[in-house]
Amino acid sequence: MAAKPKHKSIHEKLTEISNNLWWCWQPDVAALFREIDPVLWTDVCHNPILLLRSYDADKLEQRARELVLHSRINAAYRRWQEYMHSTSTWGDANAGVLGHRPVAYFSAEFGMHESLRIYSGGLGILSGDHLKSASDLDVPLVGIGLFYRKGYFTQLVDADGWQQEEYSLANPDDLPMCEVQGADGNPLKVAVDTRHGKIHAKVWKVAVGRISLYLLDTNVEENSDEDRELTAQLYGGNQRTRIRQELMLGVGGVRALTALGIYPRVIHMNEGHSAFASLEIIRMRQHDDGMSFYDALRETAAMGTFTTHTPVPAGHDRFDGGLMEEHLGPLRDALGLDYEEFLGLGRVDPHNHGESFCMTVLAFKTTRRSNAVSNLHGVVSRRMWRNLWPYRSEEETPIGHITNGVHVNTWLAQQMRQIYDRVLPPNWFLKCGQKDVWKGFEDVTSSELWETHQSLKNRLIAFARYRLTKQAQRNKASDAEIERLQNVLNPEHLLIGFARRFAPYKRADLVMQDFDRIKAIINNSDRPVQFIFSGKSHPADDYGKKIMQRIVQLSRDPELQGRVAFLEDYDINVGRHLVQGVDVWLNNPRRPLEASGTSGQKVVLNGGLNLSILDGWWAEGFDGKNGFAIGNGLIHANQEIQDQRDAEALMHVLENEVIPLYYTRDVDDVPLEWTKRMKRAVRTLGWLFSADRMVMDYVTNSYIPAAGSVTSEMRLMP
C-alpha cells in the first residue's frame, strides 16, 4: 500500500514554490505573494523568499485565513506539481532525440526576474526567456552562467540629472539557489589553470521550472582575494577581468558539467563570451578518446551551435596575445598547438600576426551551426564575417538566422491575459508559438480591449509617480517639486515609451533633434503628447550619460508641463510596467545596428503599438497595419544625413499618422482605428515573436541536427 502523502502546511507549499523561479511567470502566484503583504512585497523587491521569512507558519496561516487564500494557494501548488510532472509535452513529442543528454546553453547573463540581478539587458533577458520557454516546452536543456554577487549596477539619478552607480551585495540565502554538492557531500568545486596558477569556483543551482541553471562563483577560500572578486560584477573590471571571467564561464562551465555527470549532446553558445567551452571539449576528446586536435575539433564543431548578437564592433570581445597566453597557455599545451596556431583560431586571417584574438571568430570556427537573431541581422552578419569563408560568396556564407522572441507568460499583463483566456483556445499558453492559436484575438471587442489597456496605462502612471516622488525625496527636492511629480503624466493623453541602453546607435535623443517642433507636438492643447523614458548608460560612457541628463532636465522643464518623465534604474520590473502600459513604443536605432530588439515584442502582447525604424525584428514584423514605421528602410551612406532623414521621418509619422489616429474617437470615446491595429498586432506578431516559437526553431533547425550529425555539410576552416 502506498504511503499517504504527508500533509503540507501552506507555508511549506509556498516555500517550495518560492525556491523555483517557475512562480515568476505565473501572474496569479505573483499576485498571491503580493496580496499577503503588498508593502513588504515592494520593499523586498518582489522576492518571495524574503517575504516568507517575515511570516512564520502560524502568522502566514492567520494571514491566509483573513484573506481567504487557502484554496488559491492549494490550487497554485497543485498546478506547479502538475507542471513539473507532466509528460505529454511538446518536447517529449519533438525533442526526444536529445533524450538523456541535454543541450548545454552557455550565456554570460541570465535575466529571469528582478530579484536575481545577474543580467544587464537584452542579452540576459533573452537567455532567461530561452530557459523559461525550454521549460514550458520541456526541451532537455541546462543553462550555464556565472553568479555575480554584486550583479550589474543600480542606477540612481542625482539632483543634477547625472547617473550614479551603486553595487549591492546579494546574499545567496535570500535567493532561489543552492550550492551543488559533490559525491563526498562537500561543495562541488572546479578549477581552471592559468600560467600563474589555478582559479577555483563553486557551483550554484537555480531551478527555472523544469530547467536547471548552473552558476559558477569564484568566491571560495582557495582563491586569492582578487580572484574571489572575479565573478562579483557583471561587465565590470578590465580586459583581464573579462578574459578570466570568460575562461571560467567556458572552460569552468564544461568542467562543472563533467563533475555533475552531465555529458551534453549539443553545446549552444549564446554570444561569444563562452567560446572557450569548445576548446575544453576538444581537449577532453583528445585526452579521453585519443583523437588528434583536428579530428576532435571536427567532432566538437558538429555538436556546437553559436548565436551572434550584434553587428556593433565593441560587442565582440578581443584579447591580445599576452592575455591569451597567460590564461589559455596551459590549455594550449594540452591541445598540442603552438602559439601562433592557437591564436589563429581567433583570427579571421590565421596568419595575420597583427590581428587580436576574437571570441566571435573562435565561436564561428569551432561550431558548425551559427545564426544571427533576425533576418536582416543575418544579411549583415554574412557581410561582416564573409572573410572567414574566403571561397564562398556572401550569400553562401553559412550564417543563418533565428529571430528572437519573448516569453509570453512573463511579459503579458494579468488583466490582458484574462482577455486571452476568454478568446483563445483552452490552454493557449502551452501552444503560444503556434499561429492558429492566436486567430481568436480578432473577436475581442474594441471597448473591452481599450478599457483593459487604459487600466494598465493608469497602473504605469501611478508607478511612475511613485518612483519619481521617491527619487525626488532622496535628492531633497522641494515640496512644490514633489507635489508636481505626484501629478505628472495624464492617462487621457497619448503616451509614448522609450527605454533602452544609452548606446549612441540607439539615438535616444533623435526625437528632440528639432526641439521647437517636438515641443509644439508635446504642448498641443487639443492633442497633447507625452514621453516616458528609461535606460542605463554604461558606467564608463559619459556621452550616454549626457544624453540621459538632457532627458532628465527636460522632464523637469516647467514648459513641458509634466509631459516628459524619466524613470531611473531600468530593470525587469520597470520594463514590465513600461511595456504593459504605454500606447506606443518608440524605437529609432541607426539601421542596421539593432540586431533584433525584443522590448517592442513585449509591448505587442499587451496591446501597445510599435513606432520603429525598419530594423531588427520590426523589419520582418511590420505589415503596414500592425503598428507604424519610421522611414522606408533605406540607408544613406552619410550617417549625419541618415540621422537627419530619420528625425524628419519620425516627426512626419507622429504628426500625420500616430497622433490623428489616437485622437480620432467614436461616440464612446474609443479610438476604433487604433484598436483595430492593436488587435492586428497581437494576432499577427504575438506568436511569431514568442520565445516558444524561437526555442522550437532552435530545436528543429539547430539542436536536432547538431545532436544527430557528424557528416552533414562541413564548414570548418583549416
Ligand X SMILES: *Cc1c(COP(=O)(O)O)cnc(C)c1O
For ligand X, which is the closer residue by CB, 52 or 503? Answer: 503
Residue showing cell 547538431: 706
User: Binding ligand X by CB under 6 A: which of 108, 125, 468, 685?
Assistant: 125
Q: Which helix (H) or strand (E) holds 679?
A: helix 672-685
Q: Note whether 581 binds ligand X by CB under 6 A.
A: no
What residue type is assigned to position 49 of the chain? I
Q: Helices (DSSP H) in 260-356: which residue ranges?
A: 276-289, 293-302, 321-335, 339-344
Find the shortest distance in angstroms from Cβ 128 to ligand X: 10
Q: Is 506 within 8 Å of 551 (Cβ atoms)?
A: no
Q: How many residues does the chain have?
A: 718
- Buried b / exposed e across 423-439, counting CB within 10 Å, b at 16+? bbeeebbbbbbbeebbe
Minimum gap (Å) between residue 537 Cβ and ligand X: 13
The answer to the question of residue 114 lying near ligand X (CB under 6 A) is no
Partners of 109 in beta bridges: none
Q: Which is nearer to ligand X, 152 or 357 (CB)?
A: 152
Stretch of residues binding ligand X (CB under 6 A), selected from 6-14, 51-59, 322-330, 571-579: 571-579
What is the pattern of x (binds ligand X, CB under 6 A) and - over residues 618-657? ----------------------------------------
Q: Could you tell me the smallest distance in angstroms from the CB atom of residue 351 to ligand X?
A: 37
Per CB under 6 A, which region of 20-28, 218-226, 362-370, 568-576 contacts ligand X?
568-576
Most distant CA atoms of the chain, gap in Å: 81
At 376, list the grid cell: 536582416
Q: Return the residue of 497, 575, 607, 627 that touches ligand X, per CB under 6 A.
A: 575
> Is residue 589 at the binding interface for ligand X, with CB under 6 A as the rule?
no
Task: Kindly write out the interface string for residues 190-229 of this chain, putting x where it contacts ligand X by CB under 6 A and - elsewhere.
Answer: ----------------------------------------
Neighbours of 41 (CB within 10 A): 18
Q: Which is nearer to ligand X, 467 or 500 (CB)?
A: 500
Q: Output the nine-digit C-alpha cell for 518.
A: 517636438
Phi, psi (deg, nearest 5) at residue 590:
-80, 105
Q: Which CA distances in Å does 519 have to 31, 527, 582?
A: 40, 12, 20
Q: Could you write out the DSSP letters of every residue in 458-476?
A: HHHHHHHHHHHHHHHHHTT
Give the DSSP per-residue string, 602-616. HHHHTT-EEEEES-T
* Binding span for ligand X by CB under 6 A among 272-280, 543-551, 595-603, 633-641: 595-603
Of the pair 117, 200, the CB lying nearest ligand X is at: 117
CA dist 359 and 122 (Å) reads 19
Nearest approach in angstroms of CB 312 to ligand X is 12
DSSP label of 20: S
Q: Give the integer Cα–Cα distance in Å for 637 and 442.
A: 42
Kind of pairing between the strands at 197-208 and 189-194: antiparallel
Give the x-and-dash track for 444-483 against ligand X (CB under 6 A).
----------------------------------------
The yes or no reply on residue 121 touching ligand X (CB under 6 A) is yes
Q: Which of 309, 500, 556, 693 binds ligand X (CB under 6 A)?
A: 500
- Shortest separation between residue 540's beta carbon and ligand X, angstroms: 19
- Gyration radius of the chain over CA positions: 26
Q: Which CB atom, from 114 or from 138, has the smaller least distance to ligand X?
A: 114
Residue 597 touches ligand X, criterion: CB under 6 A: yes
We find the least distance from the C-beta atom of residue 586 to ligand X, in angstroms, to be 11
Kindly state the cell numbers that stand for 302. 558538429
Minimum distance, C-beta of residue 126 to ligand X, in the bound complex (Å): 8
- H or E, element range at 48: helix 48-53
Instruction: Tell the smallest beta-carbon distance from residue 685 to ligand X (Å).
Output: 14
> How many chain residues bind ligand X (CB under 6 A)?
12
If you write DSSP's letter for every residue of 226-247 in order, what string do you get? HHHTTTTBTT-S-HHHHHHHHH
The interface region with ligand X, picked from 15-23, 31-39, 591-599, 656-664 by CB under 6 A, is 591-599
Shortest reach from residue 520's CB to ligand X, in Å: 28
Coil/strand/helix, residue 265? coil
**Min dist. Cβ of residue 33 to ligand X (A):** 20
We find the least distance from the C-beta atom of residue 633 to ligand X, in angstroms, to be 18
Nearer to ligand X, 570 or 622 (CB): 570
Contact stretch for ligand X (CB under 6 A) within 182-190, 203-211, 483-491, 594-602: 594-602
Contact 399, 378 (CB under 8 A): yes
Residues that bind ligand X (CB under 6 A): 121-122, 125, 500, 570-572, 575, 597-599, 602
